[in-house]
Amino acid sequence: MVTSLRVVVTDPIVERLAADFQAHAPLHVWHFASALPAEQQRALLASCDVLVCSKLSAQDAALCTAKYVHITGIGADRVAVAQLPDGTVVSRTGHHERSIAEHVVMVSMVHQRRLMETTSELRSGIWRTVATTPDTPMNPTFSTLTFGFVGLGGIGEQTLALCSALGARSVAVRRTPGGNLPAGLDWVKSMDSLPELLATSDVVVLGVPLTSETTGLIGTNELAAMRRHALLVNVARGPVIDQEALFHALSTGVIGGAALDVWWDAPTGSTAPESVTRWAQLPNVIATPHNSGHTVDTFGSRVREIAQNINAFAEGKMLSNQL
C-alpha cells in the first residue's frame, strides 16, 4: 500500500508543471511554495515528508524534516546536502542532455554559416554573398568539420550522435579514456591529449564538471593552440575557462568565436551581470543565459522522474539517480 506523503516544492521552474506532478503522483499532498514568504516556506520545510528543490541553504537544511529530498537538476552544489539530518535520502535528475546537444548543434551552425555577421550586414543595408562580393568566404558543411569534445558524459554523447548524423568527424578527451569507443568517434584519449584535440578541432565543446582540475582548464596557451577560425562552446561551467584569456583571444582574433551558455558571475533576478554585458557586445560571441537545457522535454521528463521516485519512496522501492 502506498503511503500518502506531504510534498513541498520550492523550485519555481518545475512548479509551473504542478498539474503534471499531481497527475503522476495523485495520492500525495502537494504544497507548491516557491512564491511564499521565506518564513512560510520554512514552516513547510519543518513539517514535510518530501522536499523538491533546486537550492537549499545550510540553515534550512538543518530544520528540514523531509526523509526524502529530490533535487530538480543534476548538480547538487546549491543544496546543502551535508547539513540535512542523518538518514535523509537524496536524489537528483537530469534529462537535459538532448536539449543541450541540440543547442550545441544550433550555435555551431550559426557560427559556421556566419548568421550573426550576415544579419548585422543586412541591418546595415549590405547584401554580401559570394555572388556580390568576391572575397566572401564559402560556408562549410558539417561533413567538413571536426568536433572536439572535452569531457564525454551524457551531453557529449548526445551531441556526438547528432554531429555524426550530420556527417561531422569527432574526437574526444576525457579523464578515463578506456572502455568502449562511442559510435562516431575517431579517437578518445586522456586529458593529456587536450593540445592535440584543440589543434585539430573546428568546434571545441566543453562538457566537464567543475573541479579543482578543470578550473581554468582553458587558458592562454590552450586558446593559442586552437585553430584561428574555431568556435569554443561552453555548456559546462564558466570557470572552466580563464575569463580574461578568452576575452583577449576573442577581441584579437586568436580564435574565431565562442558560444557561452555558462558564466563566471550569477545574475540578480533578471538583470545580467555587468561582466556578461561586455561579452554579449563582442560580434563573435553567441551569448545565452544558461538556458541551453530549458525545454519542455527537459522539465517534463524531470517532473515525471521526480513523481515516479516519490511514488517509489512511498512504497519502499528502489529510486533512480540517488546520491
Q: What is the pLDDT of residues 35-54, one digit of tens each?
A: 999 999 999 999 999 999 99
Domain presence at residue 114: yes
Query: Based on the domain organization, do 101 and 222 belong to the same domain?
Result: yes
Read off the pLDDT band of 59 (50, 70, 90): very high
Task: Please report the pLDDT score of residue 25 as a whole number.
Answer: 96
Determine the average pLDDT of the residues in 305-315: 97
Residue 322 covered by a domain: no
Is pLDDT above 80 for 255? Answer: yes
Contact criterion met (CB below 8 Å) for 322 and 90: yes
Residue 208, in any domain of the structure: yes
Residue 259 has pLDDT above 90, yes or no: yes
Contacts 24+ apart (CB under 8 A), 30-38: 31/6, 31/7, 33/8, 33/9, 34/9, 34/10
Q: Is the same domain home to 140 and 227? A: yes
Structural domain includes residue 20: yes
Least confident span in 173-187, 219-233, 303-317: 173-187
Same domain, 160 and 279: yes
259, 284 Cβ separation under 8 angstroms:
no
The structural domain count of the chain equals: 2
Domain range holding 215?
A: 97-287
Determine how many CB atoms are found less than 10 A away from the CB of residue 295.
17
The SS3 of residue 155 is: helix
Identify the pLDDT of residue 211: 92
Per-residue pLDDT tens over the stretch 269-290: 899 988 888 998 999 999 999 9
Whose CA is closest to 36, among 75, 67, 10, 63?
10
Using 50, 70 and 90 to split pLDDT, how confident is the model at 204?
Answer: very high
Is residue 1 assigned to a domain? Answer: no
Give the pLDDT of residue 3. Answer: 80
132 lies in the same domain as 241:
yes
Is the pLDDT assigned to residue 313 strictly greater than 80?
yes
Say yes or no: 244 and 270 in one domain.
yes
Give residue 1's pLDDT band: very low, low, confident or very high (50, 70, 90). Answer: low
Q: Could you tell me if residue 323 is inside a domain?
A: no
What is the C-alpha separation between 243 and 151, in angstroms, rounded?
20
- Whether 195 is covered by a domain: the verdict is yes
Quick one: pLDDT at residue 50?
98
- Tell me what pLDDT residue 100 has: 97
Residues 18, 21, 23, 26, Cα dihedral to 10°? -110
User: Could you report the per-residue pLDDT of 64-97, keeping only the tens digit for each?
Assistant: 999 999 999 988 889 999 999 999 999 999 999 9
- For residue 263, the surrounding DSSP H or E stretch is none
Is 306 found in the same domain as 261? no
State residue 306's pLDDT score. Answer: 98
Shared-domain flag, residues 144 and 160:
yes
Residue 48: its H or E element: none
Residues 150 and 253 both lie in one domain: yes
Q: Which CATH number do you get for residue 51?
A: 3.40.50.720
Whether residues 77 and 102 share a domain: the answer is no
User: What is the pLDDT at residue 7?
Assistant: 98
Distance CA 132, CA 311 (A): 63
Dihedral, CA of residue 291, residue 92, residue 162 and residue 192, to nearest 10 = 100
- Shared domain for 121 and 234, answered yes or no, is yes
> What value does the mean pLDDT take over residues 227-237?
97
3-state secondary structure of 145: coil
Contact 263, 288 (CB under 8 A): no
Q: How far apart are CA 12 and CA 32, in angstroms?
A: 8
Mean pLDDT rounded to a whole number for the chain: 95
% pLDDT > 70, the chain? 99
| pLDDT of res. 268 | 83
- Compute the distance between CA of residue 295 and CA of residue 96 in angstroms, rounded to an integer: 8
Asked if residue 283 and residue 184 are part of one domain, the reply reads: yes
Q: Residue 129 falls within a domain, yes or no?
A: yes
If asked whether residues 140 and 282 sit together in one domain, one would say yes
Instruction: Tell me if 51 sits within 8 A of 45, measured CB to CB.
Output: yes
Q: What confidence tens digit (pLDDT) does each residue in 152-201 have?
A: 999 999 999 999 999 999 999 999 887 777 888 999 999 999 999 999 99
Identify whether the C-beta of residue 6 lies closer than 8 Å to the C-beta of residue 46: no
Cβ-based neighbour number of residue 307 at 10 Å: 22
